[in-house]
Amino acid sequence: MHNLVHKPFYFVRHGETDWNRRHLYMGSKDIPLNQRGIEQSKLAADWLKDEPIVHIATSPLSRARKTAEIIAEKTQKPITIIDDLRECGWGVNEGEPYDDGVILQKWFKGEALEGAEKVHDFGARVMRGLESALELPGPVLIVAHGGVYCAIQRVFGWPFINVKNCSPLYHRPPEKSQRSWFVADLSNRSSGL
């Protein structure tokens, strides 16, 4: 693993969209935040306002970019848009109902899905995006997508967690005596979001 990746960073999945609420595959479709997603983003900004974040890197898709802008307004940190942090393109499956992971399982096994980005290509792109983000002054907050975080987990060999909309995660690389990364969820679950 490239040394560049061994830096602490924060990650936030964008706020909710109507397609999230309806359990539809979004992929590269530029679906905006809904009102709940805006409120979630404001809450994430409150959770992050006292963290030592120096810079925010975001996907160009509006749901992530708007989440990043709301957080940046509260934290007064600069934003850099990184195209490689955009969500996986799902081809003909975009806009289709989520099927309890049937399509995802086929994709993870390397099956070609019509018009979709290949799993290996997506993972390589996400790692380029992560490396670009971590070249910025840090610690960096990355605002992106569930699929992007899934790819990061796969590359690092972390146990899979389904990251929730706007639940900020802090990541610290292993120190000499540790073998694994420290990952902390900074959200307050009592908020009801």
Residues carrying an active site annotation: 14, 87
List of residues 6+ apart from 18 with CB closer than 8 A: 31, 34
**Omega within 30 of 0 (cis) for the link into 97:** no
Yes or no: say if 16 and 66 are a contact pair by the CB < 8 Å rule: no
The span from the CA of 92 to the CA of 31, in Å, is 16
Sign of the CA dihedral running 128, 134, 136, 142 = positive
CB-facing half-sphere around the CA of 189: CA atoms within 13 A: 2
CA distance 106 to 3: 32
Using the structure block, give the residue that is written with the tokens 């569930």: 146
Residue 11 phi/psi, 5° resolution?
-140, 135
